[in-house]
Homo-oligomer: A and B are copies of this chain.
Amino acid sequence: MERFKARKIDLEGGENKVILNKSDASRLGLFSQSRVKVIKEVSSVTAIVEISHSLVEPGEIGLLPQVLSKLSASEGDTLSVVPKGKPASVEHIREKLQGKELSEHAIREIISDITDRKLSDIELSAYVSGIYAHGMNLRETKDLTMAMIETGDVIEFDKHPIFDHHSIGGVPGNKITLLIVPIVAAAGLMIPKTSSRAISSAGGTADIFEVLANVTLNLHEIKSITEEIGGVIAWGGAVNLAPSDDLIIRAEYPLRIDPYAQVLASVLSKKKATGVEYLVMDIPVGPHTKVKSMEMGRKYARDFMALGDEIGIKVRSALSYGGQPVGDAVGPAVEAMEAMAALEGLDVPNSLIEKSTELAGMILEQGGIAQGRGKEKACKLLSSGKALEKMREIIHYQGGDPDITSSRVPVGKHTYDYLAVNDGYIGSVNNHDIIEIVRASGAPYHKGGGLILNKKRGDKVEKDELLFTIYSENENKLREASKLALHLEPLSIEGMILEKHPDHRSVWS
């Protein structure tokens, strides 16, 4: 065992990295990518070695802030270092790459090593690649889900049952949670919704609700607010529920791959850890969403239900239309504004009301309080103002301004109107293009960045009519976003007549 003096190396990291001087590394037989155990008294961390000639002196060990804090160590502390071999989970990852079925034990080892950040990026990527290339059967997926739950915290509710909903895959403008949670809670059921921030989208539900209230809640707050008023909308990243998920995304995201079994396990492990007993899955289907065909959507629907049965969550699934944005607004502030307007009973797009009340209704039926007329009951809770009242209560409990109204939500001050270049009908709205334009406008980091559609698929338009308005907090960003919009043309305009026969292309003419 060798002793080193700790030195902080301030890098944001995925891998647990430590940096050794070349001379120390050579003496210990360590290379770039070797692994060591770093020990301070009773705590220890396994880390990946990087080598430097001068960033640390001989006798020093450089540690990332995350490693220092895990060891409760400070600069100057004396730490012991022991070379470590490869964890056994790397063998199991290789088995999966060979197409083998993994045992429960193997899956637990992999997830536990991922959670402890014992795997290098190369090893983590091979895990994700293996699951993507060869898949997992239901038994493996169940073991994966349970392992992901057991390597994190869980919420134990004193009251039951607990309901929830979840949408997989990105459809822009999907602010339905801001309607569903207050409707369900207003009906007297409990729905502790945790949600994500945007990674590649224009804004996750957590980004949207953060416009209205604080979403960084701890487990105790999620539990107590839910038990007290029925609903909460929190950021999942602030709590340690199925934490391996975020670490696995680190490899999935740059590769843009979503291994099927990992998607199932990722969703249901978070729900189970949150204490959810009844779940409605929303599966948007459309050309620019994760799920591109009804067939694939049905497979997800069936498999979420089957996996739910295995781990003790009653799942119902709904395939929804994902061909264009839900509602008209895309971007954190404009979506919060549109959701508040819906709760206030103002005129909002029918797609938003339809989708939210259908899904909320399914939850009410699961809760046994709607006798097959869930949607009707959900609509009533919305139109009566009870959902709005509940929303104000949730906002208040989460530290926001309960008197907020849709007209006072602060959207970007700088706007650009995008006009139709000719007459016709909207043939399609490209979700990807919409997201790119909204991100260019500054979202999700600038909450005021966004876009409001004035026309959607099938609408008739005339030349110079408004198609959409871009919002931004910043003139430069607005210019970038409008340039991008002019380049991408996210709404296609078609004449009603698509072809005429005989035409000049006909060989017979």
Contacts and interface: CB of A to CB of B under 8 A. Distances in A.
A97 to B, nearest CB: 5
B26 A14 contact: no
A50 B12 contact: yes
Nearest to A120: B254
Interface string A8-23: 0111111000010010
B254 A9 contact: no
A54 interface: yes
B86 A254 contact: yes
* Copies in the assembly, this chain: 2
A12 B126 contact: no
Given A55-B9, A257-B94, A121 B129 contact: no
Contacts of A253: 33
Contacts of A86: 254, 256
A109 interface: no
A416 interface: no
Interface in A245-285: 250-251, 253-257
B121 A12 contact: no
A52 interface: yes
Interface stretch (A130-138, A296-304, A327-335): A130-138
Contacts of A122: 121-122, 124-125, 250-251, 254-255
B19 A126 contact: no
Chain A contact-residue range equals 35 or more
A32 interface: yes
A51 interface: yes
A445 B31 CA distance: 12
Nearest to A252: B122
A191 interface: no
B254 A33 contact: yes
Contacts of A98: 132-133
Interface string A33-54: 1000000000000000011111
A235 to B, nearest CB: 18
A98 B257 CA distance: 10
Interface in A113-128: 120-126, 128
Contacts of A133: 97-99, 129-130, 133-134
Max chain B C-beta neighbours (<10 A), residue from A51, A86, A90, A97: A97
A290 to B, nearest CB: 14
B33 A13 contact: no
B14 A32 contact: yes
B120 A26 contact: no
B26 A129 contact: no
A162 interface: no
Contact of A11 (B50, B134, B250): B50
Contacts of A11: 19, 50-52, 55
A90 B129 contact: no
A113 to B, nearest CB: 13
A213 interface: no
A135 to B, nearest CB: 11
Contacts of A130: 129, 133
B90 A255 contact: yes
Contact of A121 (B52, B93, B125, B128): B125
Contacts of A445: 26, 29
A460 to B, nearest CB: 36
A181 B426 CA distance: 74
Contacts of A53: 10
A303 B336 CA distance: 62
Given A55-B9, A121-B122, A255-B90, A97 B50 contact: no
Contacts of A50: 11-13
A231 B24 CA distance: 38
Given A133-B97, A257-B97, A55 B10 contact: yes
Given A93-B255, A121-B121, A133-B134, 9 more contacts: A10-B54, A12-B51, A13-B32, A14-B32, A29-B439, A29-B445, A86-B254, A125-B129, A126-B126
